[in-house]
Amino acid sequence: MDGIVVKRLRFHYHMSLTFDTPIQEHHFTLKCLPKSDDRQKVESLEYDVYPNYFVSRTSDSFGNDCIYGYCKEQHRRFLIDVKGIVKAGLAPAVSVDDDCQAHIYQYQTRHTKPGAALREYHAALLPSSGTGNRPRAEYLMHRLHRDLAYEQGATTVATTAEEAMALRKGVCQDYAHILLSLCRLEQIPCRYVVGMMLGEGMSHAWVEVFDHNGWTALDPTNDLIVDDGYIKISCGRDYRDCMLNQGVFTGSCGRTAQQQEISVSVEELT
């Protein structure tokens, strides 16, 4: 199992959204619920949404668990708390029943589409040895981690892989988007992942790469193969498929008048 040791992890995800003026007719989608797969087993899960009118739970087209809801009445705060226990590190990869399901992740998206900076960087890399998708993706991850500087505030959620590559700096979202772009330049199916890591802070992003063993997870920000200290929440083609909170509402509150706070804690249970 590639040295993976199983851990039982207790987590708490909290998000609060405050509006400077009341809003109403609020439709929202939340993707912040981990689910069981080959690598992890959700032993317990509870969530609380406020306001909690007309809340339901289902899955999206990528298989992610989602909370859908609607609140008609006026409110100035929106809260979500998710708590639970996950057994992580059960397998080195997530299996897939149908290879065709994986190949939709070979194609570039608006966030990963390469331009001059990414193509120039890719051209300077060692050519593929043809030994498989995972070894090649690991090589790309090592090089990216070496050549990109982690810097908060240098980019935004709207920054593309090409823009971050031109800056040679960014955060976990940028590392993930660039690795996706490089892999897709070589026709390697790969997908964006949002989840949590041991410790306290924010949510985290990494990449899953498909080969004959299934989906293997790589963390380019930390130059690591994802192990038993990670909890996966959702996956998709890029950041937009995995947005933790999406919504529309009516009211006079603009985007700059919204204040969002997110906190994540993950601890190992002995």
pLDDT in tens, 192-230: 999 999 998 999 999 999 998 899 999 999 999 999 999
Q: Is residue 216 a contact partner of residue 208, using CB atoms and an 8 Å limit?
A: yes
Q: Residue 113's pLDDT is what?
A: 98
Q: What is the pLDDT of residue 129?
A: 85
Whether the predicted pLDDT of 256 surpasses 90: no
Q: Please write the tens of the pLDDT for every residue from 8-54.
A: 999 999 999 999 999 999 999 999 999 999 999 999 999 999 998 78
- 3 state SS of 36: coil
CATH topology of domain 99-241: C8orf32 fold (3.10.620)
pLDDT at residue 130 is higher than 90: no
The predicted model gives 241-264 an average pLDDT of: 84
Question: What ranges do the domains of the chain cover?
Answer: 7-89+244-269, 99-241
**Cα(244)–Cα(34) distance, rounded to whole angstroms?**
12
Q: What does the mean pLDDT of the chain come to? A: 93
In single-letter form, the type of residue at position 11 comes to F
pLDDT band at 252 (very low <50, low <70, confident <90, very high): confident
Please, which pLDDT band fits residue 258 given cuts at 50, 70 and 90? confident
Q: Which of 233, 133, 241, 148 is nearest to 190 (CA)?
A: 133
CA–CA distance, 148 with 153 (Å, rounded to integer)? 14
Q: Which CATH class is domain 7-89+244-269?
A: mainly beta
Report percent pLDDT > 90 for the chain.
Answer: 84
Q: Would you state the pLDDT for residue 247?
A: 87
d(CA 100, CA 102): 5
Crossing angle of helices 116-123 and 172-185, rounded to 10° = 70
Per-residue pLDDT, 209: 97
- Bigger pLDDT: 241 or 253? 241
The residue ranking higher by pLDDT, 134 or 254, is 134
pLDDT above 70: residue 1: no
Secondary structure of 101-141 as H, E, C letters: HHHHHHCCCCCCCCCHHHHHHHHCCCCCCCCCHHHHHHHHH
* Identity of the residue numbered 195: G
DSSP sequence for 248-267: EEESS--GGGEEEEEEEEEE
